[in-house]
Chain A
Amino acid sequence: MTNSEQPGSANTPPSRGKIAERLLPGGEEPDPRFTLANERTFLAWIRTSLALLAGGIAIEAFTADLFLEPVRKGLAVVLLLLGMLLSAGAAVRWLRVERSMRNKAPLPLPLIVPLLAGAGALAAAVVLIFILWR
């Protein structure tokens, strides 16, 4: 047995955790590049989610003399809600993509893309209407 074949060495995959066994059952480990790319995509969605959270706070904190209170609160809640949904959606998408890759199945459609587009358009429309009406 060479050094690289010994248990616990770099070539021996460690056993998967209970959570991984339960949430990602069956299939086989995909190419590491794809697993890492999936994680990078998840982190990109999380960054978008954090930007929306920060935007919601900024709307609420900095626009007191620009928007009426109901509009300000409404926009802040929409942005915070969107950030929250995006965080959860990113995890669900990561899980679905990982499952598909393990089972060599087609990748699922990204459901959070229409959510983000729709809510972004709604927030922009609210601001536009308010500016034109003011």
Chain B
Amino acid sequence: MALVTVSAIFLRWLPTHGLPILLLFAVSAGAAAGIYFTQRRRYSASSRGIARENVDADITAVLWTACAGVALGGLGIGVVLAG
């Protein structure tokens, strides 16, 4: 939900900064969609892990989420400095 909100706020930039904003919107909305569509699988994996008292650290999800944040920040700075 936070990523969807941020993607909607990015659209506020569209009139002033033009089409590059769509890239920011796509990254943010894509990350939100990725989280939404994989949450059932992650929930099931965590539930099974709790049942056997051994949860695997979901390192891929953590790295992807962090990369999305870094990409959004970097693209945002690029847009601000270019505009």
Contact = CB atoms under 8 A, between A and B. Distances in A.
B69 A87 contact: yes
B6 A32 contact: no
A73 B69 contact: no
Contacts of B55: 29, 32, 35-36
B66 interface: yes
Interface string A66-91: 00000001001100110111111011
A50 interface: yes
Interface residues of B, number: 37
Contacts of A87: 65-66, 68-70, 72-73
A13 interface: yes
Interface residues of A, number: 49
Contacts of B3: 50
A124 interface: no
Interface in B51-83: 51-60, 62-63, 65-66, 68-70, 72-74, 76-77, 80-81
Contacts of A20: 56-57, 59
Interface string B11-45: 01100100000000000000000000000000000
Given A46-B65, A91-B63, A60 B50 contact: no
Contacts of A50: 2-3, 5-6, 69
A13 to B, nearest CB: 5
B56 A14 contact: yes
Contact of A83 (B72, B80, B81): B72
B76 A53 contact: yes
B63 to A, nearest CB: 6
Contact of A81 (B12, B63, B77): B77
Contacts of A54: 5-6, 9
